[in-house]
Amino acid sequence: MTALLPIEFADLEGFADWALPTTRQRNHKRLTSSMDQIQPFYDAMLTRIDAILAYLDGFNLQEMPADAQRLMWMALSLAEVSDAIELFHEPGVTGGCDPSRFVVIQEPNP
Amino acid sequence: MKTVMADRRWIGQHRDLGTEPVSTETCTSADFFELERERIFRRLWINMGREDQIPEPGDYVVKDFTMANASVLLVRGKDMKVRAFHNICVHRGNRLVGDEKGTCKNLFVCRFHSWAFSPEGDLKWVSDESNFYDLDKNQLGLRPIATSIWQGFIFINLSPNPAETLLQYLDGVTQQTAGYPFNELSVVFRYRVDERSNWKVVLDAQNEVYHLPFLHIAYPDFCPLNERGFSRIQDFRRFGRHTVYSVEANGTHQATKVEQVTARIVPYAEKPGTIAWFDFYTIFPNMCILFLGNTCMTYNIWPIEVDRSVWEVTIYQPKAATASERFVQEYWACRLRDLLQEDASNHEAIQASLKSGALTHFQLQDEEIQIRHFHKMIREQVAQIV
């Protein structure tokens, strides 16, 4: 099977389902996952994040090869889930409004 | 025992604002809402967007300005000038431009009878023109709206003859923010939040830091707390109808693990705002500009009905040049969004409470002085008779 991620980060292949291209999708995955699903992803990514960013900084942001792009999206998913693990200790915003009220009408591309 | 104003930090300096509780009726009365429509939103300078949304000749956006009963066409002409028009064909009133944004390559054409207008607003083509009676196309351009730009922010004024220029209206805000690199701003995120509350309830909720240590799990140590655990703003300033409160960075802030990663890329309190680390401007009537570290945010809070509004949140940062910078952008956009979702959890409940009629007045403390000033400006603007 073709690797989804650069070979240096083969250890993260099992989390490639977090490689989602938009904020909407990443937020949705966070909100519909359990803490048992989010925690291992967070732990694995946090361990490697400095190496991941150092690797990705070698590419032009607008022209990444597909495997590096997926890794970038996984890093953005780490940014998305960090509040759930570090602050709220649950997937959603504790006591927050209905998250579907916050409609994303613009986000960075990529 | 009666409070002595001189003893209090903010009211001692701004005694004209008074210390009485503030009426809630302005947030529930349909009659008052109509007065706001006529005497505030159809009369003052209102921010509609930014120039960089329409960078090229022919670029346009259409803004639904419900509160003013207007559909506003913002367009950059071939001469590069930004103009605003009522989005109305002058023949028989059809909506001229149906989509929200785009580029007009040549002319705007009305689908009803094919009347056509240039991006500069001139009527260029009338189908079957000779069958009209004494038609003077020069008098039949798109209906213009006064437009002015400050630091890239496009403002409009629906008065036929605005009483002040935009710069006069913005008063000392322009000098206070003059050093900020607005031209480096790039939109990174924009959210639209449908709110079941009066627009002022949404704005009030943001207009103080008293609530920060209590409401926000997302950022409990955002601002320095005094020895009793309560937040204190560092500064409060007035500029005509507009105000700012400022807060220093909290030196004892505990960064989370992922936040520490971002701080290695972009240090926590790198760029000062215009006064302190966090500056929150209320630009009367319905715009807020926030300077927070290396982020700028704007809120535009659009009244729809007395108990409905739309909160537009825009987050600006310099464009990310690297993956690391992109990661930092995403982290703070998510964190700020979660913070605002905590804020928004109150709004609907507050509106329902006010609607019950059981609470006739808000009680406001010294640190809530920006809310007090805002409500005074609302009452004064509505009370004017022209």
Task: Considering the domain delimited by B46-168, tell me its CATH architecture.
Answer: 3-layer Sandwich (2.102)
Q: Which residues pair with B147 in a beta bridge?
A: B156
pLDDT digits (tens, 9 = 90+) for B67-77: 999 999 999 99
Does A51 reach chain B within 8 Å, measured CB to CB?
Answer: no
For chain B, give the percent of residues with pLDDT over 90: 83
Q: Which of B334, B335, B346 to mutate to test the interface with A (most CBs of A within 10 A)?
A: B334
Q: Distance between CA atoms of B373 and B98, rounded to whole angstroms?
A: 39
pLDDT digits (tens, 9 = 90+) for A29-75: 999 999 999 999 999 999 999 999 999 999 999 999 999 999 999 99
Interface ipTM above 0.90: yes
Q: Report residue B297's pLDDT band, with 50, 70 and 90 as the boundaries.
A: very high
* DSSP state at residue B340: H
pLDDT digits (tens, 9 = 90+) for B26-36: 999 999 999 99
Q: Distance between CA atoms of B286 and B192, rounded to whole angstroms?
A: 15
**Predicted local distance difference test score (pLDDT) of residue B218:** 81
For chain B, give the percent of residues with pLDDT over 70: 98
Question: Is residue B217 predicted with pLDDT exceeding 90?
Answer: no
Residues of B at the A interface (Cβ-Cβ below 8 Å)? 187-195, 217-218, 256-259, 261, 264-265, 314, 320-324, 326-327, 329-331, 333-335, 337-338, 340-342, 344-345, 347-348
Instruction: Locate CATH 2.102.10.10 in chain B.
Output: 46-168
Q: Report residue B272's pLDDT band, with 50, 70 and 90 as the boundaries.
A: low
Q: Distance between CA atoms of B37 and A47, rounded to whole angstroms?
A: 54
Question: Is residue B273 predicted with pLDDT exceeding 80?
Answer: no
Q: What's the whole-model pTM score?
A: 0.94
Q: Distance between CA atoms of B122 and B139, rounded to whole angstroms?
A: 9
pLDDT digits (tens, 9 = 90+) for B330-383: 999 999 999 999 999 899 999 999 999 999 999 999 999 999 999 999 999 999
- H or E element that contains B61: strand B59-65
How far does A2 lie from chain B, in Å, by closest CA? 24
Q: Which residues pair with B235 in a beta bridge?
A: B246
**Contact flag B261-A50 (C-beta cutoff 8 Å):** yes
Q: Report residue B386's pLDDT band, with 50, 70 and 90 as the boundaries.
A: very low
CATH number of B5-24+183-383: 3.90.380.10
Q: Report residue A1's pLDDT band, with 50, 70 and 90 as the boundaries.
A: low
SS (H, E, C) B279-325: EEEEECCCEEEEEECCEEEEEEEEEEECCEEEEEEEEEECCCCCHHH
**Predicted local distance difference test score (pLDDT) of residue A110:** 62
HSE (CB half, 13 Å, CA atoms) of A79?
A: 29
* Nearest CA-CA partner of B221 in B249, B198, B202, B195: B249
Does A1 reach chain B within 8 Å, measured CB to CB?
Answer: no
DSSP string, B85-129: EESB-TTT--BS--SSEEE-SS-EE-TTT--EE-TTS-EEE-TTG
Query: How many residues are listed for chain B in this entry?
Result: 386
Q: Return the top range by mean pLDDT from A99-108, B139-148, B222-231.
A: B139-148
Instruction: Locate CATH 3.90.380.10 in chain B.
Output: 5-24+183-383
* Contact status, residue B61 vs residue B76, Cβ threshold 8 Å: no
